[in-house]
Amino acid sequence: MSPKYYVGTSGWHYDHWRGRFYPESLAKAKWLEFYATHLGTVELNNSFYRLPSEAAFAAWRDSSPDDFTFAIKVSRFITHIKRLRNVEKPVDNFIARASILGDKLGPLLYQLPPNMSRSDEALESFLSSLPPRMEHAFEFRHQSWLEQGVFDILRKYNAGLCVFDMPGVSCPLLATADFAYIRFHGSTGLYSSCYPDQELAEWAERLVAVATSLKAVYIYFNNDAEAFAVRNALTLRDYLQRGAATGAEAFGGSYPDRLQEGQGGQS
């Protein structure tokens, strides 16, 4: 069975996307609905800073298509302040709130702080407490975590390694669960640079190779400056859908060309 590719952006509620992606006259309350006509998934990241209300989760659920998927970045209280220890109640509260999304709930992303070094005991204790019916992915920012022993622990619990691409830091491209999770933070500048089409075509080939035995691949672009994230997500999705061709010319033009043809948002 071929994997399903979920390609989107890390967040959608950016003021500087007005005029670049969202129409100038479109009310913010309609932005998710507009976004969902172009991309079928989004990574919620405001949940990292503050747990959204029940009403907010319900509104997102009700204003998105039936087949839309939300990945959710877990609270920094759990990952950065408590550092995965003694968090049973806050985890339960977070999952209960996120579950309001129902069938639209995708993976939960746990991003650990860059000053938190490897602790197999903390990781395995935390993993053993999580509901196995859900998809959990971990983004490690300290290099000590990116080792085989940690990957083995993740595999034991069918938890995903969040593969990330960002300037100056390397992360192996591999899957530790029956799904993969990838975040793109910028090609040459963190959160602020656009990925060239050729680079995305090369990524598509690598992702297809990794995904052969997986059920799903979740991919999110976090380079929100100038709506680069939307541009890159649409391009990579096209490459994946068309079999990871080796060059942008194989798809009849890049994202700006498709905008002019009326297939994207405003440029």
Span 24-36, pLDDT tens digits: 999 999 999 999 9
Alpha helices in 99-144 (DSSP H): 120-129
Calculate mean pLDDT across residues 216-235: 97
Confidence class of residue 1 from pLDDT cuts 50, 70 and 90? low
The amino acid at residue 111 is: Q
The dotted CATH code for 4-260 is: 3.20.20.410
Residue 74's closest CA among 61, 56, 93, 55? 93
pLDDT at 16: 96
pLDDT at 14: 97
Share of the chain above pLDDT 70, in %: 91
Structural domain boundaries in the chain: 4-260
Q: Are 86 and 57 a contacting pair, CB within 8 Å?
A: no
In whole angstroms, give the CA distance from residue 182 to residue 165: 8
Q: Are 179 and 107 a contacting pair, CB within 8 Å?
A: yes
Residue 228's closest CA among 262, 266, 194, 183? 194
Q: Residue written as tokens 């999110």?
A: 220
pTM for the full model? 0.90
Question: pLDDT tens-digit profile of 237-252?
Answer: 999 998 744 434 443 3
Q: 163 has which bridge partners? A: 182
The amino acid at residue 249 is: E
Question: pLDDT tens-digit profile of 46-100?
Answer: 999 999 999 999 999 999 999 999 999 999 999 999 999 999 999 999 999 999 9
Examine the pLDDT at 216 and tell me if it is beyond 60.
Answer: yes
Q: Residue written as tokens 């913010």?
A: 28
Examine the pLDDT at 206 and tell me if it is beyond 60.
Answer: yes
Q: Residue written as tokens 């997986």?
A: 214
Q: Kindly state the tokens that stand for 220.
A: 């999110």
Share of the chain above pLDDT 90, in %: 85
Q: Please give the residue that has the higher pLDDT: either 75 or 2.
A: 75
CB contact burial 235-261 (16+ within 10 A = b; e otherwise): bbbbbbeeebeeebeebeebbeebbee
The mean predicted confidence, pLDDT, of the chain is 91
* DSSP conformation letters of 158-189: TPEEEEEEBTTB------SSSEEEEEE--SSS
pLDDT at 168: 86
CA 76 to chain centre: 16
Question: pLDDT tens-digit profile of 98-112?
Answer: 999 999 999 999 999
